């Protein structure tokens, strides 16, 4: 019976996939940042990824992230990728270097109270899914203007969580739409693509991909 693959082996595979996807469209692999998503992942597994050279990690719950941030090396860059409640903004800003899920005026009000700005991306709900957060594309101009005026954030680009489709190719139109929006707003960063479809996201211009199960295995439950 073969042994389970290690985090290091999985990380090497993901990085190889990323490089192939980038090179297939004439991009350099180093243009794309891998965010290792550690939601529900035990500390020792995160340490394995760190020891294998990974330095950027993502969490989607402030409460779960706090002990991980405290218990892991200080040179890790933490990205918040979950729904951010307005009453958690101050705490999140103290833990994370980048917030991926800017989407409401109430969040901006709380960010405006911070002593220093935080790098952030605006989440766009491209498929108008009622169960998901994010600014609908038709409201993006207005929200971009609001966020740009907020002293507590530096808007670096856009993020999306596309619909849960089985075929990665079916995600291509959504990733392309985010890229076109990014071009319109002069974005530096585009956060899109997860374990099943980050190859396609990179081909369509992703600068940040958020990968969990491909690195750490399927989550329990």
Instruction: Report residue 174: phi and psi, to 5°.
Output: -70, -45
Alpha helices in the chain (DSSP H): 7-24, 43-51, 62-71, 89-95, 105-111, 140-149, 172-185, 198-203, 213-216
**Tokens, residue 52:** 């294998």
Q: CA-CA distance, 204 to 190, in Å (whole number)?
A: 10
Per-residue pLDDT reduced to its tens digit, 120-156: 999 999 988 888 899 999 999 999 999 999 999 999 9
In CATH terms, the fold of domain 7-216 is TIM Barrel (3.20.20)
Angle between helices 7-24 and 43-51 (to 10 degrees): 60
pLDDT digit string (tens) for 69-124?
A: 999 999 999 999 999 999 999 999 999 999 999 999 999 999 999 999 999 999 99
Indicate the average pLDDT of the chain: 95
Which pLDDT value is given to residue 1? 34
Please say whether the beta carbons of 59 and 40 come within 8 A. Answer: no
Quick: pLDDT tens for 52-72.
999 999 999 999 999 999 999
- What the block records as the tokens of 171 is 């995600």
pLDDT of 7 strictly over 90: yes
Average pLDDT over residues 158-182: 95
- pTM beyond 0.85, yes or no: yes
């Amino acid at each position: 019976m073969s042994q389970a693959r290690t985090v290091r082996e999985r990380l090497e595979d993901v990085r190889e996939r990323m490089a192939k996807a980038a090179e297939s469209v004439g991009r350099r692999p180093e243009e794309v940042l891998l965010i290792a998503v550690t939601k529900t992942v035990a500390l020792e597994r995160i340490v394995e990824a760190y020891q294998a050279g990974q330095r950027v990690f993502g969490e989607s719950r402030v409460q779960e992230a706090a002990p991980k941030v405290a218990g892991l090396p200080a040179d890790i860059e933490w990205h918040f990728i979950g729904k951010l409640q307005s009453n958690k903004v101050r705490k999140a800003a103290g833990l994370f270097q980048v917030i991926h899920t800017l989407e409401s005026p109430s969040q901006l009000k709380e960010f405006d109270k911070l002593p220093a700005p935080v790098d952030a991306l605006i989440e766009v709900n491209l498929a108008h899914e009622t169960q998901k957060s994010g600014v609908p594309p038709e409201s993006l101009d207005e929200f971009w203007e609001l966020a740009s005026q907020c002293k507590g954030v530096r808007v670096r680009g856009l993020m999306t969580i596309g619909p849960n489709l089985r075929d990665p190719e079916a995600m291509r139109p959504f990733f392309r739409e985010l890229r076109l929006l990014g071009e319109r707003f002069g974005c530096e960063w585009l956060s899109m693509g997860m374990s099943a479809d980050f190859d396609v996201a990179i081909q369509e211009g992703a600068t940040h991909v958020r990968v969990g199960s491909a690195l750490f295995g399927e989550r329990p439950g």
